[in-house]
Amino acid sequence: MVYFIVKCLLSGVIVGVVSEVARRSPGFGALIVSLPLVSLLGILWLWRDTGDAARIAAHAESTFWYVLPSLPMFLLMPAMLRAGIGFWPTLAASCVLTMLSYLAMVWMLARFGMRL
C-alpha cells in the first residue's frame, strides 16, 4: 500500500510541476510534457514489480502505437482555439478525435495481426 501511495504522489508531483511550469512558459511546459516521464516511470515500476523483460518490451511497443493516434489532437486543439471556438467544445472535439483515432489504430493493427 505504501508503494502505491508513493507512485500516486510522485505522479501527482509531476503533473503539478508541469502545470506550474506551463503557466509561466507554455513552450517549456510542453517540452516537459512531451518527455516520456510517465512511460518511463511505468516501465520502472513494472520492472520493479515483475522483472519481466518481455512484458516491458510489450508495454513499450504498445505505448508507441498508442502515442501515434493521440498526436492529431495536438493539431486540432490549437486550430480550433485560434479559430475562436470555445475551450470546452474544443476539448470535447479533441477527445472525440483521439478516441476515434485509437479505434482506427487498433482496427488497423488488428488487420496486420497485431494486438495491443
pLDDT digits 0-9 by tens, 11-56:
888 889 989 999 999 998 888 888 888 889 889 999 999 999 999 9
| DSSP 8-class letter at 102 | H
- Mapped onto helix, strand or coil, the DSSP state of residue 71 is coil
For the beta carbon of residue 43, count every other beta carbon within 10 angstroms: 17
- CA atoms of 62 and 67, how far apart (whole Å): 9
pLDDT for residue 72 is more than 90: yes
How do residues 79-116 score in pLDDT, each as one tens digit? 999 999 999 999 999 999 999 999 999 999 999 999 88
From CA 100, how far away is CA 70, in angstroms rounded? 10
The answer to whether 103 and 96 have CB atoms below 8 angstroms apart is: no
Global pTM value:
0.77
Q: Cα dist. 115→52, 58, 105, 111 in Å?
A: 19, 10, 10, 9
